Amino acid sequence: MTPRPLTIIGGRLVLPEGEPVLGAIRCVDGRIAAIGPDVQAHDGDDVVDARGALVAPGLVDLGVFAVDKPAFHFGGITRAALMPDQSPPLDHPARVRFAAQWGKPDMWVHPLAAATVGLEGAHLAELALMRDAGARAVATGRQWIGDSGVMLRLLSYCAMLGLVVVTHAEDAGVTGSAVATAGEMATRLGLPSAPAEAEALAVARDIALAEMTGARLHFRQVTTARALDLVRAAKARGIRVTAGVTPAHFMLSDLELANFRTFCRLSPPLRSDADRKAVIAAIADGTIDVIGSGHDPRGAEDKRLPFSDAEPGMAGAETLLPLTLTLVRDGHIDMARAFALLARSPATLLGVDAGVLCAGAQADIALVDPVRPWIVDSDKMAAAAGNTPFDRRPVEGRVVALFKGGSRVD
C-alpha cells in the first residue's frame, strides 16, 4: 500500500552544504518530491510539525555485524550494510539474497559479500553471483587477507565488477593474538599487545594493490596517525581509497582499559591519545569519509571473561549519532559534514540513492533534537546486548521521529 504524501514542516533542514535552514520537505511515493524554505503541504498530505528539530537524512550504517532493528530505530539508522561475518558467512548468493530481505519494510539491510569462501582468506567467493543477488560491496570480514596474491585477484575482479572492497586493516602476522595496542597501558596490565604499526603495514600494502588494479578500496576502520597519513597521501595521488572509523576511536584511548574493562575490548584495539587526536584531525580534513557504529552486540557469555578471552566488539547503533555530534559541538566539523559522514558518504559507497536530502532521493528521514540530553545505560539499551564502552556517559542528541520511504517508523 502506497503511503499518503508526507510533508514535514517547521524543521531545520540539514542540506549537503551549509548550516541547517528553516523549511519543509514533501515526500510522495517514498521519495522526496520537494525541499526548501518555500515548500507547502498539499491537500490530503499527512503533515508533521518538526517543532524546530533538525530534519536530516536517515543514517546509513556501514559495517554492522548484526541486524538489530530496535537499536537501529533508536539511533536513526534507516539502512545498514551487514558484514559477511554471519553464521554461516555470507559467501553464497542464496544467503546474500536472504539477508537483503531482513528488516524490510522499515529497515533496509545491504549485505556485504564475503570476499573469500568461509572468510578464510584463501579462495575467492562467487562475487558476481552475490552482486546479482543483492550484495552492495565485498568485505574481508573481521580479518585482513594476508595472502597478497589473493588480495590482488580480489581487487582486480572487483574493479571489473564495479564493487567496493571493504577491508580490515591489521596485519595479522604482526598482531597475532594481541588484544591491546603496545604501550604503557598494555604493559601495566600485562596484556598481549601489538604495535600500532600493524595497521599501517596493512594499509600500505592494500593501497599499493588498489593503485595497481584501479579498484575502489574502503578501509572500514583507520585508527592510527601513521595509517591515516598513508590514506591522506593516497587520496592526494588520486587512488580510489576511502576510510572509516567508529566513535570509540575518536572518543576513547587505551587509558580506558584500566580495570580490564572488557566493554573496551575492541577490534582494532583502542589506541594512544595521540592517535585518537589524529583521528579527529582526519575527520576534520576529509581523510576519513565515514563514521559507522561497528554495531556488534555481545552478551555476557562473550564479555564476562578475562580481558584476553573476551570477544571484541561494541553495541554502537544507539550512540552513533550523539557521539558524532560531539565533533560538531567541539567545532571540528559542521552539521552538514556530520551527516555526510553518517549518511551521504556510506550511501555513495553502497550505490544507493539515499543519505542526502534532495529531490528524487528516497525519503529516509530522521527528526533530531541535537541538544536533548540523555545518559547511556548499558542495562536499558534497545540493542540485543548493551556492551557499550560509553556506559553511564552523558550525551546530547536524540532522534525524535524516523521515516523510512516516507512512512513513519513506530
pLDDT in tens, 123-167: 999 999 999 999 999 999 999 999 999 999 999 999 999 999 999
Residues 6 or more apart whose CB falls under 8 angstroms from that of 223 comprise 199, 245, 249, 268, 271, 275, 279
Mean pLDDT over all residues of the chain?
A: 95
Cα 317 to Cα 384: distance, rounded to the nearest angstrom: 11
Phi-psi region of 191 (alpha: psi -120 to 50; beta: other; left: phi over 0): beta
The pTM of this model reads 0.95
Sign of CA dihedral 14, 17, 19, 24: negative
Domain boundaries, the chain: 58-352+374-395
- CATH assignment, 58-352+374-395: 3.20.20.140
Cα 209 to Cα 149: distance, rounded to the nearest angstrom: 10
pLDDT bin (cut points 50, 70, 90) of residue 373 is very high
24-31, Cβ contacts within 8 angstroms, sequence gap of 24 or more = 25/55, 25/357, 25/365, 27/363, 27/365, 27/403, 27/406, 28/406, 29/2, 29/406, 30/2, 30/3, 30/362, 30/363, 30/405, 30/406, 30/407, 31/360, 31/361, 31/362, 31/363, 31/406
pLDDT in tens, 220-272: 999 999 999 999 999 999 999 999 999 999 999 999 998 898 899 999 999 99
Specify the pLDDT at position 1: 61
Amino acid identity, position 79:
R
Cα 111 to Cα 131: distance, rounded to the nearest angstrom: 10
Q: How many residues does the chain have?
A: 410
Contact criterion met (CB below 8 Å) for 265 and 387: no
Question: Residues of the chain with pLDDT > 70: what percent?
Answer: 100
pLDDT bin (cut points 50, 70, 90) of residue 2 is low
Rounded to whole angstroms, what are the CA distances from 226 to 49, 163, 295, 352? 47, 27, 26, 32
